[in-house]
Amino acid sequence: MGKKRKHSETQVIEPAKKDESETERPKRTLLGWKDKPEEKETESLPPHQGGFRNKEKVLVTCSRRINYRYRHLMLNLVSLLPHCKKDSKVESTSSKGATLNELVELKNCSSSLFFECRKHKDLYLWMVKCPSGPSVKFLVNAVHTMEELKLTGNHLKGSRPLLTFSANFDKDAHWKLLKEMIIQIFGTPKDHRKSKPFYDHVFVFSIVDDHIWFRNYQVSVPHNETDKMARGGLDKMTLVEVGPRFCLNPIKIFGGSFGGPTLYENPFFISPNQIRALEKKQKAGKFAKKVKAKTRRKMHELSNPLEPDEFADMWKE
């Protein structure tokens, strides 16, 4: 058998206590030696340490009896927004606001895009912040989906977009409100689980003739081995359109969700029903002109009868 160890050999050697008066050794970092302790800023804290985290989620749905072109436009927007959630169709009635608010709450969303189709012709878009508002009602014109355009641009699905706005968004108060709502709804939150952590396309919102025009462009960068772009070399970047295209004509801005007090009303808005009624009146005016011309011709013939012809009955015998 082996020899037993002595009791003195088995005692644990205690580490030497540090002298409190001794200066601490500076910490070494990737950027060098740090002498001063870091000052924590509460504003720039990451989300897991108590900082702000954007948890924006958008519910995208439509009304029943929607046209196929407008349904394709809605699906294009769903593919562009990784932080959105789809839901089944909702009946377009007077009580749709309460139904949609309940759906938004069930889906744990904070905003809503509701496509409302009327008469299989007119498309209205509700852009709403739930549950307290505000909400905006648009008339959607000049719709062109990705399937129709067949453009050459292409970007990764789920990547974050850059939002650009024209300078006239800062002129009036209602345009500023619309700009803030568009930023919150169309901007993809950072570190979203379905998004990719880089930018490769641009959403362009521009105001022309009191209408908001939407375009989507891919940021194309040369990536050949021989022609690599240096950091900051924006002169070699090009924009290639991807789609879809549409135009938003603001009708009203409400203080609540899907209703409430009217904050702004567009004085230049003309309903598509009025436009169709005017077109029908113009067509009806053409028909009325033809009828009047026929009656005038008959009256003229009655007032100016032809003289009897002497040779009219010559060949009847």
* Cβ contact 103:59 at 8 Å: yes
Q: Are strands 238-241 and 122-129 parallel, antiparallel or unpaired?
A: unpaired
* Cβ contact 249:271 at 8 Å: no
Tracing tokens 């002497």 back to the chain, one arrives at 310
- Render each residue's pLDDT in the chain as its tens digit; 317 residues: 556 666 555 555 565 665 666 666 666 665 555 555 554 444 556 665 655 678 889 999 999 989 999 999 999 999 999 999 999 899 888 788 899 999 999 999 999 999 999 999 999 999 999 888 899 999 999 999 999 988 888 899 989 999 999 999 999 999 999 999 999 999 999 888 888 888 899 999 999 999 999 999 999 877 665 556 666 566 778 899 998 999 999 999 999 999 999 999 999 999 999 999 999 888 888 888 899 999 999 999 999 988 888 888 777 76
SS3 311: coil
DSSP string, 129-197: ETTT--EEEEEEEEEE-HHHH--S----TTEEEEEEE-GGGGSSHHHHHHHHHHHHHHSPPTT-TTSEE
Count of residues making up the chain:
317
| CA-CA-CA-CA dihedral for 21, 24, 25, 28, to nearest 10 | 180
Global pTM reads 0.75
Whole-number CA gyration radius for the chain = 35
SS3 8: helix
The total of other beta-carbon atoms located within 10 Å of residue 209's CB is 8
CA distances from 85 to 70, 71, 100 (A): 18, 15, 13
Q: Walk me through the domains of the chain, giving residue ranges and CATH numbers.
A: 58-274 (3.40.50.10480)
* Cβ contact 196:155 at 8 Å: no
Query: Could you tell me where the DSSP H helices lie in 187-239?
Result: none
Tracing tokens 């002595």 back to the chain, one arrives at 6
